[in-house]
Structure 1
Amino acid sequence: MKEIELKLQLDAVSAEVLGASNVLPEQWRTVQQRDLYFDTADHALAEAGLSLRIRQSGSHRTQTIKRSGSSEAGLFARSEWEMPVTTDGPVIDGSSPIHALLGEAVEDLIRVFEVEVTRRIWDVQDGCTNIEVVIDRGTIRAGDRHISICEMEMELKSGQPQALFDLARKLGGATPVRLGVLTKPERGNLLRQAQRAVVKAVPMPLEDDMTAAEAFQVIVQACIKQFRLNEDLLLASRSPKPLHQARVALRRLRSAFSIFKPLLGADAYELREGLRDLAGALGPARELDVLLRRARPGPLRDRLQTEREAAYDRVEEELGSVKARALMLTLVEWVQYGSFIVNPDLDETRTLSVRAFAGRALSRFRRKVKEGGRNIRRMDDVARHELRKDAKKLRYAADFFALLFDGKGEKVRQQNFIVALEAVQDELGALNDLATVPHILDRLALADHPEAPALLAGGTKKALIAAAADAHGSLIDAGRYWR
């Protein structure tokens, strides 16, 4: 059986607001649930995308095995297997995907964490559409660690998936809710690990038998997940690292739109512009973080710190806006059901093998970087900035498609190409600092401060341009590993 579920994140106050709102029916039911999750000591199930749970509700126990898709964010379409059980121990027979995975090692399954929640349940019906809405409030425990949870899940029982998003938008209009990107098994597994301060991008799990459209979906979902996890860490800590990685996730998303442009229809434009605006809203805070790293203790640093706190206040306000929260929800809906999925004019590109599409995309952006850098010694700051952006897109494309070109010979050539590309990015980045930092200081009315020159990146412009030209030549000499 396949379940389609949309997950939203909210706090206790928002949960009470929704419970009292007219968006949900007046009638609901409440149940107490205890979920026991099992895995091997080396996380074999989690690494295979499987979860094993025994749920106790009253005197009834149900064992559920779920298989998740790759890089999901918010919308979960998962296969599941259920059966009644009589004890807190798992029952694994020959028909189970866990038995196929572990074989005799099923004896190694242990209880790894448990979840206790009070669940409020609403049945929302509209014509042929039936959606079960639940709000779970409770605790996840793993050994001596525990965290409180408050989350909403909406499961489509009948009707079209778009109805989930329509309802989510109504709920978001009643009180602040955000797209949820972690399942309870993922939360429990994270609880068993050291607390994370930041979430970096991971290799994209692309496979040769995927189409271009399927690869695009995986990439976008992974980027959304990276953004949302760092957004939560940022809001909790106001730390530079999650802010930076949230911006990286947004840049990767925008780059994915550029890389897959031949696949996308006109409806992609508004989403890409929304991502640009959101990334731009986070930019001033990131600029101040960079300047603070270079500033020495003293009046200038104190002034920058004050400006930074104000910038982070504006970041929190932007991330809490209806526009920003709705953007992630709309993006998840679009990547699953947008026009690029059904437009017959895009059939040829949509069904192209991802490896063939990757080769074309990498060649296209390498060509832009090659041609754009021919006169790197004579071009102005604006042109060098455009070259820097093209180099970033080439780098993100290389990252996205990395696992598709990991054959013995390809891997070595790929590593050489990435090293050369990183050198180009570093030199162009230093040149960009020389060009933009004075404008930032001028905006802050600090351009004439005696300590301002210390905030500039090291190296003269002439030397940096020469280094960028040399790095660009080495990149072109590195050739194409994807041929």
Structure 2
Amino acid sequence: MAKLAETAEIELKIRLASENVAKMQAWLNGLPNAAHHQVVLGNTYYDTPDRFFAHEQMGLRVRTENTRYEMTLKTAGKVVDGVHIRPEYNLPLNEPKPDFAQLNAHFQLGFENAAQINAELLPTFSTDFTRHIWLVRYQQSQIEIALDQGNIRNPLGECEICELEFELKTGQLKDILALIVQMPVMQGIWFSDLSKAQRGYYLGQAVKFSEEISKSLKADSLVKQEAPLADYIREYPENSAYLSVLNQQLKTEFNWAQMQAYLKSPTYFAQNLARLTQRYAG
């Protein structure tokens, strides 16, 4: 059996409109010394009937790649302006069935009721996508860039996956940001704090996302408020209260449609990139 692994994943997530994929692929294929390959990934996320992992802001999945199976627990970690920094725990499996009790025991995660959780696990949603991967050496860092295209499905419906993930394998986060500065930017591209797992939980249940936003509105940091509001407004039903709050923060006077377009614009993308670059410049 393959070696069990615990890693602290550092990645930056960028969503994009499907019409921008060809231009983005052309840029990625033109990167110097970039090794490219493609995989097809099937992922089933599991949770208990009372949504234990969702409440703890975790995601438990079983991934299928050809005839290989792997279970992963992703913890909440820290997410700011599309930068995701979170511990994850990986366990190779002999079959596509979760074994949370074994993962808990190996990594000494401290879940006293791990066996009960494992017995109650049910498939909650799936994410199935094709992943194009480029491994790039840039400045002092090794960066893995993944372009994912596919779908998220749960019993309430489905939605599209079309996103880029820049994962830091070795080096410094500032090198990822320096590389992104060179990326083609167009209407329909944006940083996102939402993971695939969160989108799966919220699919068809916008009210659950609203509950999380209500928590963020109590935060002291305007950035902590801005990111979830922006993610909501881009894709979910109109909410005049959220629009008013974000207009105040951004010092704008947009209606809902105008705000949706602005939040996917090159101007807003550049502002977020500049803020990230300043934060991680050291």
- Give the structure, 1 or 2, with the largest relative contact order (CA under 8 Å, sep 6 or more): 2
Pick aligned residue for 1:40 from 38, 48, 53: 48
CA deviation string 1:18-56 (max 9, x = no partner): 101266456521110001111111111111122111111
TM (norm. structure 2) is 0.82
C-alpha displacement of 1:144: 5.4
Q: 1:196 and 1:168, CA in 2 relative to 1: closer, same or farther beyond 3 A?
A: farther
Q: May I ask how many residue pairs the two structures share in their alignment?
A: 269
CA deviation string 1:119-162 (max 9, x = no partner): 11111212421110011111112135222211111100111111
Residue 64 (structure 2) aligns with = 56
Check whether the contact 1:171–1:177 (CA below 8 A) recurs between aligned residues: no
Inter-partner Cα distance in structure 2 for 1:150 and 1:18: 11
1:230 aligns with 2:207: no
Residue 131 (structure 2) aligns with = 119
C-alpha displacement of 1:250: 5.5
CA deviation string 1:273-331 (max 9, x = no partner): xx4xxx32xx1648xxxxxxxxxxxxxxxxxxxxxxxxx55x56644442222212333
Q: 1:66 and 1:333, CA in 2 relative to 1: closer, same or farther beyond 3 A?
A: farther
Q: 1:108 and 1:121, CA in 2 relative to 1: closer, same or farther beyond 3 A?
A: same
1:328 aligns with 2:275: no
1:104 aligns with 2:106: no
Greater C-alpha Rg = 1
Moved over 6 A (4+): none
Inter-partner Cα distance in structure 1 for 2:68 and 2:254: 54
Check whether the contact 1:228–1:246 (CA below 8 A) recurs between aligned residues: no
Residue 106 (structure 2) aligns with = 95
Check whether the contact 1:226–1:249 (CA below 8 A) recurs between aligned residues: no
SS in 1 for 2:54: helix
Inter-partner Cα distance in structure 2 for 1:113 and 1:174: 31
Check whether the contact 1:61–1:85 (CA below 8 A) recurs between aligned residues: yes
Inter-partner Cα distance in structure 1 for 2:115 and 2:217: 28
C-alpha displacement of 1:13: 1.7
Q: 1:175 and 1:250, CA in 2 relative to 1: closer, same or farther beyond 3 A?
A: closer
Inter-partner Cα distance in structure 1 for 2:217 and 2:230: 19
SS in 2 for 1:21: helix
Residue 129 (structure 1) aligns with = 141
Pick aligned residue for 1:173 from 173, 178, 185: 185
Q: 1:163 and 1:224, CA in 2 relative to 1: closer, same or farther beyond 3 A?
A: farther
- Pairing of 1:286-325 with structure 2 (within 5 A): 312=257, 315=259, 318-325=262-269
Check whether the contact 1:18–1:174 (CA below 8 A) recurs between aligned residues: no
* Larger strand proportion of the pair: 2
TM (norm. structure 1) is 0.50
Pick aligned residue for 2:280 from 321, 324, 337: 337
Q: Which stretch of structure 1 is more off in the superposition, 71-80 or 27-36? A: 71-80
Inter-partner Cα distance in structure 2 for 1:34 and 1:230: 26
* Larger helix proportion of the pair: 1
SS in 1 for 2:270: helix
Inter-partner Cα distance in structure 1 for 2:35 and 2:79: 35
C-alpha displacement of 1:205: 10
CA deviation string 1:201-257 (max 9, x = no partner): 423599xxxxxxxx86xx3443132232233137xx7x4x25x51441354xx5xxx
Of all paired residues, the percent bearing the same amino acid is: 23
C-alpha displacement of 1:173: 3.2
1:31 aligns with 2:43: no
RMSD: 3.1
